[in-house]
Chains A and B, each alone.
Chain A
């Protein structure tokens, strides 16, 4: 059974930094693209970032480009989202997800974690 477990969320002041982690199990982690999607309180879903299995391609939403960095450690079956210069509008539940397709990212997420809450507030 595929399992994704996010951690690292919390309360951070505007301008601060936070690193989210997502540990995967139940599948061969290396070849699959992974991504982060967020949901602000009471709002819809927003793609944040994605990384292909070979780590050659990373993609970011315009809203986080230059502030967030996604990375992948196959030895730990983990992806990370390093978030810096955080703003109030980054407040959201952050979900990690696994791409459905082996190989290049198709960005269709067939497994999701339960999410981790990030609150940016002074």
Chain B
């Protein structure tokens, strides 16, 4: 099975900061990688799919990059509504593992 890791597990940031979250797969998954945002008590929200394609309606401050085993989610200028948990998820062979998540909170 493919294992997903994320780093950091949490980070504290301020509005306007550039934030980067890393996701690593235990084997190559090409670009079968999605990113989700989840706020407390809410369902996840798809941000990025195919590693770098912004889902419809997602602000352009979010971007994704990477292929193979290493991926990155970047928020170019953190906004108040971006404080949340972020998960990567691979879908190389069927629906696959989520990463353990990264919590972005207020510094």
Contact = CB atoms under 8 A, between A and B. Distances in A.
A101 to B, nearest CB: 9
Contacts of B97: 47
A106 B100 contact: no
A62 B43 contact: no
Interface residues of B, number: 22
Contact of B101 (A44, A109, A113): A44
A62 B44 contact: no
B54 to A, nearest CB: 12
Interface in B20-69: 34, 36, 38, 43-46, 49-50, 55
B81 interface: no
B101 A45 contact: yes
Given A45-B38, A62-B1, A109 B96 contact: no
B95 A59 contact: yes
Residue from the set B46, B95, B100 with the largest chain A CB neighbour count within 10 Å: B95
B44 A46 contact: no
Given A107-B91, A108-B34, A100 B55 contact: yes
Contacts of B101: 44-45
B89 interface: yes
A44 B98 CA distance: 8
A47 B34 contact: no
A115 B98 CA distance: 18
B87 to A, nearest CB: 5
A38 to B, nearest CB: 11
Contact of A108 (B1, B46, B100): B46
Given A45-B36, A45-B44, A45-B89, A107 B96 contact: yes
Interface of B: 1, 34, 36, 38, 43-46, 49-50, 55, 87, 89, 91, 94-101
17 contacts: A37-B44, A44-B101, A45-B36, A45-B38, A45-B87, A45-B98, A47-B97, A47-B98, A50-B94, A50-B95, A95-B43, A100-B49, A100-B55, A108-B49, A109-B44, A110-B46, A114-B43
